Amino acid sequence: MLDIRQLRENPEGIQARLQTRGGESWRLVDEVLACDERRRAGETEKQTLQGERNRLSKDIGAMKKEGKDSSELEATVRGIGERIKTIGEEADAAEAGQSQTLLQIPNLPHPGCPVGSDETANPIVRDWGQKPEFTFAPRDHVEIGTRLGLFDFEAGTKISSGGFVVFTGVGAKLERALIQFLLDLHTEFHGYDEVAPPHIINRDCMFGTGQLPKFEDDMYGLEENAFFLAPTAEVPVTNLYREMILKESDLPVKVAAYTPCFRREAGSAGRESRGLIRMHQFDKVELVNIVHPDHSFAQLETLTAEAEAVLQRLGLHYRTIELCTGDLGFSSSKTYDIEVWAPGHGAYLEVSSCSNFVDYQARRMRLRFKDADGNNRFCHTLNGSGTALPRLYVSLLETYQQEDGTVRVPEALVPYLKRDVIG
């Protein structure tokens, strides 16, 4: 969440930055400050009344020692006590309102973010490799995979519903090979520690990383939404450090995790969803960084390069774009999306989103570090997909397809799949 001190000191500036996101979230700043003013005024009055009550209580004690009637003062003290209780309840309500409203305000875009209303304003930062050329009309992954028996959408629907798939035979082995390849790359070459977190997560964790309250309808809730299926490993991995105070020497923390991810994809009607492109359950390797505030934007560049390395090792053409203010995720201050080329679709598909949340998540989960002067400061958190598998799988099949219907296996995957051709 945002720092309430920022809102007090520069409300107009905060509102102006929020307005670049679009929507009405900037209006919530006034609501937060109104609650804050009521709370602070209540606390001030409460302290004044407590002082008055203490003074009168001493007077009552003195009067009783002298044998004087103190009933009138005692009635006054009781009235003050009732007023203190009322003020306390009002201040608590104002504080709760302030906290709830703060949770609904997204992060501030980095001042250098391109300003725009939607994805059409996202500039291309760089690209890598070339689009593959074919001597035949390239097929899409659904046709390729169906012919080779790599996956079965009907079986996924039979077992669960639409938006689920069963990987079969070599298709299942390819999925497993990709997961192992990604984990090995990031742990052996990029310095990540691997964890295997739970896939069922409580509400506190969802609030900590910013999935709640905004995205509740997009997640699978369990037991009256007391728990949720993990929408991304970002949630459990970042929350491993919730309410911790790290040593400055511990930073940066770099953790990688594989999990299946579960999303309802609410509001995605009309978007590309053929085959594996938009699933309710999909595999992903996530990269989480916890860093010193002075280094977080430099670390974002490193994190993005680590995600790009996946596609470079697999020989897949991609481009990296920077998200404009209107396309930023709720908790992000700055984000790069990496889009891989899928020749069968004739389109770029997002396979990774790398974001710097600055101290937005850390404030929610009270994640701090002790600096050299002994002060507790909020960490900065980052995360990136390293990468999501379904669209990586799509690009692999479509990029390395051959005219006879087989698929070449990129060299980096051969040791994992133990074959150089599928089919």
The residues that are catalytic are: 263, 278, 350, 353, 391
Strands, E assignment, 211-311: 221-222, 227-229, 245-247, 253-262, 281-291
Alpha-carbon span 94 to 315, nearest angstrom: 56
**Do residues 159 and 178 make contact, with C-beta atoms less than 8 angstroms apart?**
no
CA distance 115 to 118: 9
- List the beta bridge partners of residue 347: 342
Tokens 């074959």 sit on residue: 419
List the structure tokens of 12.
Answer: 């107009």
Q: What single string gives the DSSP state of each residue in 8-26?
A: HH-HHHHHHHHHTT-SSGG
Task: Report d(CA 390, CA 57) in Å as an integer.
Answer: 72
Closest CA to 259 of 279, 295, 229: 229
SS3 label, residue 393:
helix
368-370 and 245-247: which strand pairing? parallel
Indicate the pairing of strand 200-202 with strand 380-388. Answer: unpaired
Task: Decide: 42 and 98 in contact? Cβ < 8 Å.
Answer: no
Cα dihedral 82, 88, 94, 100, rounded to 10, equals: -130
CA pair distance 16, 348, nearest whole angstrom? 33
CB 296 within 8 A of CB 358: yes
